[in-house]
Structure 1
Amino acid sequence: MERRPREISTTGFLAVRPLPPPSIFTGSQRLSDRHTRLLRCSAESSPTHRRRQQRVAWSAMPAAVELLMRVVLENYQGVHETHIDRFNGIRQFVGGTKRPPRGTLLVMHGVNPRGAWDPRLEGVAKAFAAIGFRVLMPNIASLQRLEVGLRGVEEMEAVVDALTEVVGDASDQTLSVFGASLSGAMALVAASRPRMQHRVRAICVVGGFASTSTVSRKIMLMPPGSDDYGRNVLFYNFVEMALGPNEALKEALYHAVLDNHLLRRGTPDEQLPRYLAQVPPEVGALYWRLQNDVAFRLEIAEQVTAQTAELMRALSPVEFLRTLRCRKVVLVHGQADEVVPSCEAELLYEEMRKVGIDAELCKTHLLGHGDKMLPRQPLHRIATDVFQLVAAWASFIEAATLPVAPATPARVLEKAR
C-alpha cells in the first residue's frame, strides 16, 4: 500500500530516513506451494536473485543517471506543467527541450488522500519529463478515496484507453506506465486486459506485489510499532465485513491514515487523538485493539478473506501474467520495505519469467516502500546498489522510448518538391 514515511528530512518522493532493522515474518497458513515459499522467503536477496545476470541498457544509462540525480536533488528546472480537464483532472509535464518526446509516460499515484498531488510521485513525474518524456499524472478518484477494489483498475483502463487516442504516440498509439505499490499492481492487471494489451509499451512498478491475499496477511502479521499505513487502509475498506457497520471506527481509521500520510503524528496537527476524545470509549478501545492485538487482527483477516476471495484474486497481478503483452516490466523493490516484503517482487519476477515476459528485478537497500534510505552498508555495497537501480531505470527508459524514425534523404525531399 502507498504510504508516507514517519521520519523524513525532505519533501521529495524519495524521502531520507535511517534504515530500520529488518522485520521478521512468522506464522504459517494453508496456501499453494508457490505462496508458502513466498511467505517463508527473507528480506535478503535469494540465491536465485544473486545469480541472475542483469542486461544493462547502456544507451539509456546517461538518461537514467540524470533521472536519479534529479529525483535525489529535486532539480526539475525547465519542466512545465499544464492541465488536461478530463476524468478527475490530469496533470501533464513536459521538459523545456524542443526535441520530440521520447514517449508518453503515465505516472499512477497510489492509495493516498492527495491523489495526483502527492509530492513524491510529482517529483518522479517531473524528473521523467526533464529527461524527455511527455508525462501524464491522472487522478484516480477511487484511490484518492482510499478504496481498494476493481474500480481503480477500471479507472486506469479508461484513462489509458482515452489517452492513447488523445495524446498517445502517433506512430503506434502506445504509452508506458510508472506505478507505485497498489497502483503498480493495478496497472499490471489493467494492462493484461484485451483492450489494453497492445497499448502499453512498458511498465515500471516500485514496491509492488504478486498476490493481494498473501501480502494482506503479511501486513496483518506485522508487530505493533511497525508502519501501519497499509494495515489501516485495509481495515478502512474491509473491517465492517467482520465487525458489522461502525462509522465511528472507520472515521478513526481514516484519521490515522491521514496523520500517517501527512506526517502529523506527534505534532500539534495530529487529528486522531482529538477524534478519539470525542467518541465513545469503546471506539478507541476497538481501534487500539486492531493496532496492538495481532491474534485479533488475524481473526478479522480470516473472516474478511472468506468474503473477498474473488476480489483478492482479481487484484493479484500473478493471476493475469499470461495475457500481459507489454515489451518490458521492471520491478524495483526496497529490501527494507516495511509494507510489502521484497520477496513478493521476487515471486512476481519468477512467475513473469516462466510465462516469457521480458522482466527485470532490482532489489535495493536504497529504498523502503518508495522512500529513499541511507543504508548501513559499506561504500562498495552502496555503489553497487546505485548502479543496479540506475541500470533498472535505464532498462525501463529504453523500453519506453519510441524508436527514432530514419531520416529522409535530402534527394528524396528534393524530388518531392
Structure 2
Amino acid sequence: MNQLTAWGKSIQFLLGLQNQDETLPDVKEIQIPIRNGNLRADWYTPKTKSLGTIVTINGLAPLGNRDPRFIIVNKSLSKLGYTVISPFFEEICDYKISLRNIDDIKDSILYISGKKEISPTGKVSIFAPSFSGSLSLIAASDKQIAERINTLCAIGAFTNVDDIIGNLFANQNLDEYGRMILLLNFLPLSIGENKSLFKAIKLAILDNYYKYKNNLLEPHYSKMKKADRDFFENLKYDSAFRMKHWEIILKKGGKNRNLLTALSVTNYIHSLNLPILLIHGTTDDVVPANESLLLHQKLVALGVECKLCITSLISHGDTGFSFKTLLEVPKLISSFSFFFLKAYDR
C-alpha cells in the first residue's frame, strides 16, 4: 500500500463513520481463551483479500464490542479490506478497573496473532478508544506483545491515571459518567464496602449510558438509608467531599498504590517501541487533550514513531467523527492514513 492509497482508505473510513446503520452484520463469533476463561469475539471478514488484521478494544461501556458506535467502527474498518476481531471484554464492560484488563488484552493479542486463518503474518494492529487505549499502550509495552503488533491507534487515552482521577473528582463540570466509574472502582479504598451505595453508583452509570426514560436508580434510591442517600448526593455534587476521599485513597499503600501506578502509561513509556497514532478531542471532558500531547512529546523524544492529532471533531474517546468543520478534516485524513499504512500486512 502506498501513501496515496492510505489517504483513500482514510477518507473512506471517515465517510463510513458517518453511516447511521448500527445493525450488526453477519459476523462469525469465536472464543478467545484467556488465563481466566474465554472471551467471545466478533470476526468481521472483508469481501476482498485482507489487507491485515485489526483488533478493536472496546471502552468502558456495557455493550462493549456491540455498542452501536463500535459496530459502525468495526464495519467501516472491514469495508476498507481489513479483517477485524472485536472481543467482548467482560471486566471492562462491567466497569471493573484492574490489572486483569491488561492481561486480557495481552492474551487476546497473543491468541489472535497466533491463528494463521485470522492473521497469516502473525501480527495485528490495535484500535482502542478511551480507557482501553491506555490499557492497550501498557499491554504493548510488553516486548512479547509488541512483536505481534504492527501499529496502535489510541483515541482519548490518558498518560497519568492519578492526574485524571484527581481532575475528574475536583472539577464538577467534567463528565459524570467517567467520574462515577472511577468512584465505583476506587471509593472502596477509602470507605470499604457499602453494597447499597455502590449499587446506587452502578445504577447511575447505567442510566447515564442507556439514557433510560424510566431510570434504574430511582427505585433503589428511594429505599436507601438517609445516610447513604446523603453520601451519594455529596459524591455527585460536592467536589470537596470527593477530594477528601481521593486524598485518603492516595495515602493508602500496598496493593492500592500499586494498582494506580500500574495503570499509568507514564511508567511504561521507555518500553514502548512501535508506530503509535494518538487522537484526542480538544473538548474532551474526561481526559484533557494535554495527556496525549505529553505522551507524544515523550515518545518522540525517545525516538518512537508517533503521530498526534488533536481535533475539535470528537469528544472523549469518541469513535464518531463529525464533519462540522471541514478545516480539520485533512488533519484527520492524514492521521488515519498513518495508521492504515502501518496496519497493512505486506
TM-score normalised by structure 2 residue count: 0.92
* Partner residue in 2 for 1:96: 47
* Helix, strand or coil at the partner of 1:102: coil
Residues 170-207 of structure 1, C-alpha deviations (whole Å, 9 max, x = no match): 23x11000001111101011111132121111000111
Q: 1:152 to 1:163 in 2, by over 3 A?
A: same
Quote the Cα distance in structure 1 between the aligned partners of 2:277 and 2:118: 21
Task: Map 1:398-413 onto structure 2 (within 5 A).
Answer: 398-403=341-346
Match of residue 9, structure 2, among 63, 72, 77: 63
Quote the Cα distance in structure 2 between the aligned partners of 1:285 and 1:78: 42
Query: Could you tell me which amino acid in structure 2 is paired with residue 179 of structure 1?
Result: A
* Helix, strand or coil at the partner of 1:338: coil
Verify: 1:262 aligned to 2:262, yes or no. no
* Helix, strand or coil at the partner of 1:255: helix
Structure 1 unaligned runs (5+)? 1-55, 404-417
Verify: 1:232 aligned to 2:177, yes or no. no
Number of residue pairs aligned between Structure 1 and Structure 2: 335
Quote the Cα distance in structure 2 between the aligned partners of 1:63 and 1:77: 22
Residues 6-48 of structure 1, C-alpha deviations (whole Å, 9 max, x = no match): xxxxxxxxxxxxxxxxxxxxxxxxxxxxxxxxxxxxxxxxxxx
Residues 362-401 of structure 1, C-alpha deviations (whole Å, 9 max, x = no match): 11111011345769xxx8xx22211111211111000101
* Partner residue in 2 for 1:28: none
CA displacement at 1:325 relative to structure 2: 2.7
Verify: 1:391 aligned to 2:340, yes or no. no
CA displacement at 1:169 relative to structure 2: 2.9
Verify: 1:300 aligned to 2:250, yes or no. no
* Partner residue in 2 for 1:314: 262
CA contact (8 A) 1:78 1:95 kept: no
* Partner residue in 1 for 2:18: 72
Match of residue 129, structure 2, among 160, 164, 180: 180
Q: 1:156 to 1:77 in 2, by over 3 A?
A: closer
Task: Map 1:4-403 onto structure 2 (within 5 A).
Answer: 57-74=3-20, 80-86=26-32, 87-97=38-48, 100-166=49-115, 167-171=117-121, 173-223=122-172, 226-264=174-212, 267=213, 269-307=214-252, 308-326=256-274, 328-371=275-318, 372=320, 382-403=325-346
CA contact (8 A) 1:276 1:283 kept: no
Q: 1:385 to 1:113 in 2, by over 3 A?
A: same
Q: 1:64 to 1:76 in 2, by over 3 A?
A: farther
Quote the Cα distance in structure 1 between the aligned partners of 2:322 and 2:341: 28
CA contact (8 A) 2:24 2:71 kept: no
* Helix, strand or coil at the partner of 1:72: coil
Residues 215-257 of structure 1, C-alpha deviations (whole Å, 9 max, x = no match): 111111221x542111101111111211121111110010011
Query: Could you tell me which amino acid in structure 1 is paired with residue 338 of structure 2?
Result: S
Q: 1:77 to 1:118 in 2, by over 3 A?
A: closer
CA displacement at 1:287 relative to structure 2: 0.7
- Give the share of equivalent positions with the same residue, in percent: 24
Query: Could you tell me which amino acid in structure 2 is paired with residue 301 of structure 1?
Result: W
Residues 107-146 of structure 1, C-alpha deviations (whole Å, 9 max, x = no match): 0001222222212112111100010000001111210121
Structure 2 unaligned runs (5+)? 33-37
Quote the Cα distance in structure 2 between the aligned partners of 1:76 and 1:88: 22
CA RMSD of aligned residues (A): 2.0
Residues 321-379 of structure 1, C-alpha deviations (whole Å, 9 max, x = no match): 222232x100111111111111111111111111111111111111011345769xxx8
Deviates more, 1:75-84 or 1:233-242: 75-84
CA contact (8 A) 2:281 2:314 kept: yes
Query: Could you tell me which amino acid in structure 1 is paired with residue 113 of structure 2?
Result: T
* Helix, strand or coil at the partner of 1:125: helix
* Partner residue in 2 for 1:41: none
Query: Could you tell me which amino acid in structure 2 is paired with residue 333 of structure 1?
Result: H
Quote the Cα distance in structure 2 between the aligned partners of 1:315 and 1:168: 30
TM-score normalised by structure 1 residue count: 0.77
Q: 1:125 to 1:373 in 2, by over 3 A?
A: closer
CA displacement at 1:77 relative to structure 2: 10
